[in-house]
Amino acid sequence: MIEQANDNDITYFAETNFRNERRRFGIKRDDRRRHFYVVGKTGMGKTAMLFNMIIQDIQRGEGVAVVDPHGELVEDLLDFIPPKRINDVIYLNPSDLEYPIAFNILESVDDEYKHLVSSGLMGVFTKIWANMWSARMEYILNNCILALLDSPGNTLLGINRLLVDKEYRKKIVSKIKDPVVKAFWVEEYANYNERFRTEAIAPIQNKVGQFLSSAVIRNIVGQSKSTIDMREIMDNRKILILNLSKGRIGEDNSALLGAMMITKIQLAAMSRVDIPESERKDFYLYVDEFQNFATESFADILSEARKYRLNLIMAHQYIAQLTSVSGGGRVTKVKDAVFGNVGTIAMFRIGAPDAEELIKEFEPYFVEEDLVNLTKYHIYLRLMIDGVASKPFSATTLPPTKIESKGAREKVVQVSRERYANRKSEVEEKIMRWSGLEEMMETSAKEAKLEGDEAIYRANYVTKQMAVKAKDDEHREQEGGTGKKEATEISSEKAGKTTAVCDNCGKAVNIKFKPDNKRNVFCKECLKKFKSGEIDADKLLKRNLAQEEVKDDGVIYPQAIKNISQAVGNVSKDRGDNQKVAPGQVVTLE
C-alpha cells in the first residue's frame, strides 16, 4: 500500500554498529531537500545504496527520476515496480530503436527561460567538445538556438538547416522576437562573405551534425511534439526512468541526452513558481555518474532547486570529475556548488587525492588513512538531521532490497511504448517531410523522368531524320544518281543545305543549318503558323514527347538503330523499366 507523504518520512539506507547493537537509520524528507551527495570508487556499493532508496520512494508513491549512464541500475529497477505504479512509469530507452519517445527541448519554453535553455545546451556542447570549442562557435550556435526557440514547432534538427538553407532561414528570422538575435541574422550573418561563412559554420555543422546524424538521437529530439511533459511528471509524482547506456548509444550521445533531460527537469521545477511552496510536491532526481551531465547550469540546480522541491541524489567516483578545462584554466563551478549546497555527504572508499580534500569535511573525527582504507559497503558520512549537519560517523549500507521481484519489466516497457513512443517509420517519415527531403526526392524523380523522356524524344528525332535521309537517298538512286552516299554529299555540297524534319508536322525540309536540337525546324507552312503565333515553340517538345509513331516512311539503317537502342536502353535502366529498342522499332513514351 502506498503511504501518505509526511515530512517525517524516513528513507533508510544504512545501519550503525555500536557495541554490537545494529540500528538502522535514514534521512527525513525535509532534510533530503538539501540534496544528498555520494562519492566513492567503483564497486564499493554506491549503486546498491541508490537502488534501496529509489525502491522506497517508488513504494511510497513519490515522484522519481532516475538517470543512469550504464543501464544496469534502471533495468534492475523495472522488475521491482509495484503493479499499482506501472501506469506511472515513463521508460526512456534510446536503444529501443523501433519505438522512439519524443523529446523536444525547444518546445513550449516561456520567454523568461529561453536563455536558460540556450545556456544549458551551450554548457552541454562546451563540456563534451571542450578541446575544440571556440568563442565564435558558441556565438553563432547560441543565436541559432535562440532563433529556433522563437519559432514554434522547431527542433534541434533546425540548427544546421538554419545555417545553410536560405529560404528556411528567412522563415525563421521573420518570427524572431528578440531584437538582438534578429539583428545578428539580418545585419551580421547575412553579410558574411561565402568563404568566411563556410569557415565559421563548418565546426558547428560537424559537431552538431555528429550528434543529430545518429538515428538513435535524431528520432528522439527531432520530433516537434514531445510525448513527455516534465511539469506533469513532477506535479503528478510520476516515475521517469532514463536508460542512457553509454555502451549502447555512445558516450557523447548519452551525455548530451542526459544533460538536456536534466535541463528540462530544471525548467519544469522553476516553472512551479506559479504555485505556493507549501503545495509543491517533492520530486527526487537520482543521477548516477552525474559528472557526465554536470554542466555549469547543473550547478544552478543545486543552488536554486530546494525552493522548488527538486531534491537531488547524485553519485560519482572522484572529485576531479567535477572540474573542467576552459581558457587554459580549470573551472570549479560545479564542484563549488556541490560542497557549498549539499546537506548530506556519504563517502565510500576514495583515492588519496580526494582524501586530502575531503578530510576537511570529516576531521578531526577521521584522518586521511581512514578514508582510503574503507571496505566494501562501509561509509563515512555527515548526515543532515532536522536541518543541522551531524558530526561525521561511520556506518554500513543496507544489503540489496529483499522484496520479491514483481517481474514487471515487460509490462512497463509495453505501457511506455503505447503511451509515450511512436513507431520509427512514422517518425522518420515526419522528419523527412520537415526537412524537405521527400519533396526533393519527388522533384529529382520527376527531373530524372523528364531527362529520360527527353533522351527518348531525341532518339525518336534522330530516327526520323535517318528515315528521311534514307528516303531521300532512295529517291536519288531511282533518278540515276551517283549512289546513296555520293548523292547526299554532292547534293549537300552544291546546295549547302541539310535534309531535316519539321518539328511540327514531320514533313521533310531542306535547311541551311545543321540540326542541333536547340533551334526549331519548320517547313514553310508551319513557319508561317509559327510567325503568326499559331504554334507555341515551347510546347513543341512536350507534344513531340507524346507522339507514338514516326510519320515519315523510309528504310531505317540497322546499325544506327542499334546505337540508338543502346543509348535509350541506358535511359530505360535509369528509369527502372525493361524497355528495349529493336532494329526498325520506333521509341515511344509510355
Residues in the chain: 590
Residue carrying the nine cell digits 527526487: 284
Rg (CA), the chain: 37
Residue with cell 514554434: 152
- Which pLDDT value is given to residue 110? 85
d(CA 264, CA 270): 10
- Phi, psi angle pair for 461, to nearest 5°: -60, -45
C-alpha cell at 45: 556499493
Q: What are the grid coordinates assigned to 482, written together?
A: 551517283
Per residue of the chain (590 residues), what is the pLDDT tens digit?
A: 334 456 568 999 999 987 788 899 999 999 999 999 999 999 999 999 999 999 999 999 999 999 999 999 999 999 889 999 999 999 999 999 999 999 999 988 888 888 888 888 888 888 777 777 888 898 999 999 999 999 888 999 999 999 999 999 999 999 999 999 999 999 999 999 999 999 999 999 888 888 888 888 999 999 989 999 999 999 999 999 999 999 999 888 898 899 889 989 988 998 898 899 888 999 999 999 988 887 777 777 788 888 899 999 999 999 988 877 565 556 688 888 888 889 999 999 999 999 999 998 898 899 999 999 999 999 999 999 999 999 999 999 998 877 666 678 889 999 999 999 999 999 999 888 887 644 444 444 444 444 455 545 554 555 555 555 555 555 555 555 444 444 344 344 444 567 777 877 777 777 776 666 556 777 888 887 777 777 766 566 545 544 433 434 333 333 333 343 444 444 444 444 444 444 434 433 33
Cα 202 to Cα 206: distance, rounded to the nearest angstrom: 6
> d(Cα 493, Cα 182) in Å, to the nearest integer?
69
ω into 364 cis (within 30 of 0):
yes
d(CA 88, CA 253): 26
* CA 33 – CA 36 distance, rounded (Å): 8
Give the C-alpha separation, 421 to 226, whole Å.
Answer: 10
Q: Collapse the DSSP code of 236 into the 3-class scheme (helix H, G, I; strand E, B; otherwise coil) and give the result.
A: coil
Q: What is the structure's pLDDT at 448?
A: 45
- What's at 233, amino acid-wise? I
Q: And the C-alpha cell for 44?
A: 564499493
Please list the residues that pair with 344 across neighbouring strands: 36
φ, ψ of residue 541 in degrees (nearest 5): -60, -45
Distance between first and last Cα of the chain: 72
> What are the distances in angstroms from CA 398 to CA 24, 82, 147, 382, 456?
8, 21, 50, 17, 81
How far apart are the C-alpha atoms of 97 and 424, rounded to whole Å?
7
DSSP 44: S
Q: Helix 537-546 crosses helix 437-478 at what angle (to 10 degrees)? A: 80
Return the C-alpha cell found at 234: 513532477
Tell me which H or E stretch contains 123.
helix 114-128
**CA distances in angstroms from 367 to 112, 339, 357, 391, 480, listed in the order given:** 48, 19, 11, 14, 123
**Angstrom distance (rounded) from CA 450 to CA 442:** 12
4: exposed, middle or buried (C-beta count within 10 Å: 0-12, 13-18, 19+)? exposed
User: Do the Cβ atoms of 25 and 304 come closer than 8 Å?
Assistant: no
Residue in the structure block whose three cell numbers are 523522368: 449
E strand spans, 533-576 = none
What strand order describes the sheet that includes 393-397? 21-28, 10-18, 393-397, 378-382, 344-347, 36-39, 310-316, 283-288, 63-68, 239-243, 89-92
Going by the DSSP 8-state scheme, the letter that residue 549 receives in this structure is S
Beta strand segments in 351-413, E: 378-382, 384-385, 388-389, 393-397
